[in-house]
Every structure is written in structure tokens, then in C-alpha cells.
Copies of this chain bind each other. A is one copy, B any other.
Amino acid sequence: MDANRFERQIQFILEIDKLKTILRRTYLINEDRAENTAEHSWHLAMMAILLAEHANEPVNVSRVVKMVLVHDIVEIDAGDTYFYDATAALDKSVRERAAADRLFGILPVDQGAELRALWDEFETGKTADARFALALDRFMPQLHNYHTHGRSWAEHGITIDRVLERNESMAEGSAKLWECARALLDDAVSKGFLPKKEN
């Protein structure tokens, strides 16, 4: 066994404290501040536990929970890439893979490999567990945006057509969540929280 195994585990645990300082574009419902990625990851894990019955396919809930707890740790180095930023998306994969190499590399080899594989699986999105995890990750910002009167959409000039286009793959993980999101988005448009595309 790695003589420094415990030390490496603790070093990683200290390192990921930084995820609490990475800000997302979404706003909290009950406080006037942006959400950070650590608390977002907690929220997704709770959703995985509670909403697994709405996945399109049977999922391993414990694996999905672990996957969403880990899915954004790369943002410690790579930052939060805004979901609607097409330019930042171009090198997102390169930045995040370098981050994964460094961050998961802090851990003992077996544990680093396990978390890295979970992250790769989430990013690739080809398994039932990953499809459901991705659906949760896409669903939550719709709730936050709707319940903050479209604040983040307005700040970034996001229109309904882009929200639909970028999020429709949610249906591959959970038709139920996509149905709920669609209803919220329709209501957001009717309430003036989310503009239609300008012609």
C-alpha cells in the first residue's frame, strides 16, 4: 500500500475546499448571491436520491450520487464554463482534462482512477447513470432561473430557443424532468422572465 496513502487523501480533501469558491451563473432562490459549485453538487446529489424513479432507464442511485458529487471538481482549475458560452466551449474539454489529470492525480492511484472514470463517464454521457446525472445537471438551473424570475437568463441575453436547444437532451435521461422543465419554460415566457428569439 502507498505509504503516503492517507496523506494524499487528506491533501485532496483540503484541495477540493476550493470548489466552494467557484461561482456559477445561477442565483440562489433565497439569498442574493451566485451559487457555488460545491453547494450545487450537494443539491444534485439530493436530487439524484429523490428523483431516481423518474429516470428513463433503471439507474444505480449510489453511482449517480457519486458521479454528481464529483462531476464539477475539475472547475477548481478550469473554472465554471458557462453553459451558453459557445467560445469557452471550444477549449472546455482540453482545460477540464488537464484539471482532471492534476486533481485526481493527487489521490492514491486506485481512488484517483475511480473518480476519473466516473467523471469521464459523466462527460461522455453514454450510460444510463450518466444520462440521468446529466439530466439532473440540466434540470436544476431551470428551477433556479424560474424561481429568480429569469435573473441569469436576462443577464446573459438568453432566449427561449437557446434554452430549448441546449437542454433538450435532458429528455434522454428523464422524459419526466424534461416535461416539467418545458412547462416551467413556457410559463417563464408567458410571465416575461424568458424572451423569445429576436428576429
Contacts and interface: CB of A to CB of B under 8 A. Distances in A.
A149 interface: no
Q: How big is the A interface, by class?
A: 35 or more
A191 interface: no
A55 to B, nearest CB: 13
A182 interface: no
A43 B143 CA distance: 24
- Count of this chain's copies in the oligomeric assembly: 2
A46 interface: yes
B43 A16 contact: yes
Given A20-B39, A42-B38, A14 B143 contact: yes
Dominant secondary structure at the A interface? helix
A40 to B, nearest CB: 9
Given A45-B69, A54-B6, A20 B13 contact: no
A62 interface: yes
A117 interface: no
Contacts of A31: 20-21
Interface in A22-73: 28-31, 35-36, 38-39, 41-43, 45-47, 49-51, 54, 61-62, 65-66, 69-70
A149 to B, nearest CB: 14
A69 B50 contact: no
A10 B49 contact: no
A156 interface: no
Contacts of A17: 28-30, 43, 144
A16 B45 CA distance: 12
Interface of A: 6, 9-10, 12-14, 16-21, 28-31, 35-36, 38-39, 41-43, 45-47, 49-51, 54, 61-62, 65-66, 69-70, 107, 111, 143-144, 147, 176, 180
